[in-house]
Chains A and B, each alone.
Chain A
Amino acid sequence: MFFKLFTTFFKIGAFTFGGGYAMLPIIQKELVDIRKLISEEEFMDAIALAQASPGSVALNTSVYVGYKIKGLKGAIASTLGSVLPSFIIILLIAMYFFRFRHNEFVDSIFMGIRPAIVALILSAAYQMWKNSRKTYIKLFSSIATVGLVVFTGLNPIWIVIAGAVSSVIYHKYYWPFQEERER
């Protein structure tokens, strides 16, 4: 089972392009549909927890699913499986790529790709906003975050912590007060 989990996640890691979110449907197909190692609901729980936790969503999902199937050993197998393909492929590219990096042709390719990266990032932000329940407070926090990161250079860690703390204070002290007043 250890080896099987490893090879399954290795395959997933090696063949999914486009980052974490692109890996999720493939993990689902392999583990839920084909191998039936976990149920659909368990998989949805895994994704929700993975998104709520720090780090890469695909990696978090792999760790959780590994635990679910075979405990700590399973988690180690699935983590190694999903990390190793990235590691090997990137290492090869990094070693090879730097030999021909300073070349006019490669430069012009990257001149085209750089704006595309900006577009991809904006597209991800736009889709997240579109799929969320929109409120003024959320809009304010998002815009304040952009402003703080871009203009003050404040470390994002502090903004994440401030967001969490202010939300707890808001829900614990302001909300009950609001409900009281409306009554």
Chain B
Amino acid sequence: MVLLQLFISFIKIGAFSFGGGYAMLPLIEEEVVEVHRWITTAEYVDILAIAEMTPGPIAINSATFLGYKVAGVLGSAVATVGVVLPSFMVMSLIFVFVLRFKKSPYVNWIFKGIRPVVLGLIAAAAVSVGGNTFVDLKSVLIAILLFVLVTFRDLNPIFGIVLAGALGVIFF
């Protein structure tokens, strides 16, 4: 039963998250933390950290990890297939109808409407993850430092995470 729920949740996540990566986070959080309560917000953020640090797309990494946490190896297989399947099917359809898709103004309008929502979803992910993260001034300082380094100094995000982990050991 839990396997079927996992599968359906990750199909939903795969099918309705536009913009890839970070834009998928609020949906994943909604499904696994809010709706099904499989994990806590703190566990969710830890999984995100690991998904960021390991190779490959974040969505697939977090699906595999969450699936394992909820229902072991079988769970991780089910969640991964679930998150991949909509991509595969939608891209297949697009490949077949690519020219027709390109010409329709409706498709263009739909994407114009979705893009700012995607941006909002990414910002919302930061707000909801941040709500449980900022325990004191030190964690706020780490966030500000990392934001400046990654945004304006082109620091590689992986090095950023390693740096933040080191700061965590020093500060906490």
A contact set with B: CB distance below 8 Å:
13-21, 23, 49-60, 63-64, 67-68, 72, 75, 79, 82-83, 85-87, 89-91, 93-95, 97, 101, 105, 107-129, 132, 137-139, 141-146, 149-150, 153, 155-157, 159-160, 162-168, 170-172
Contact = CB atoms under 8 A, between A and B. Distances in A.
A86 B122 contact: no
Interface in B1-36: 12, 14-22, 24-27, 30, 34
A91 B150 contact: no
User: Interface size class for chain B?
Assistant: 35 or more
A112 B172 contact: yes
B102 to A, nearest CB: 9
Contacts of A115: 130, 133-134, 139-140, 142-143, 146, 164
B143 to A, nearest CB: 4
The SS class assigned to the A binding surface is helix
Contact of B126 (A57, A125, A144, A160): A125
13 contacts: A13-B56, A14-B55, A20-B20, A54-B87, A82-B56, A86-B55, A86-B64, A89-B54, A117-B48, A120-B160, A128-B119, A153-B34, A168-B106
The listed residue with most A CB atoms (<10 A of its CB), out of B53, B77, B110, is B110
The SS class assigned to the B binding surface is helix
Interface string B84-108: 1011101110110010010001110
Contacts of A128: 118-119, 122
Contacts of A153: 30, 34
A120 B133 CA distance: 13
The listed residue with most A CB atoms (<10 A of its CB), out of B22, B60, B95, is B60
Nearest to B108: A171
Q: What are the 7 tightest A-B residue pairs by CB atom distance, in nearest-first order? A: A112-B168, A167-B113, A145-B120, A86-B56, A116-B164, A55-B87, A57-B20
A113 B49 CA distance: 7
Contact of B64 (A20, A91, A112, A167): A91
Contacts of A111: 135, 139, 168, 171-172
B124 interface: yes
Given A115-B134, A122-B126, A164-B114, A90 B164 contact: no
Contacts of B147: 119, 122-123, 126
B169 A146 contact: no
B73 interface: yes
Contact of B14 (A55, A114, A163): A55
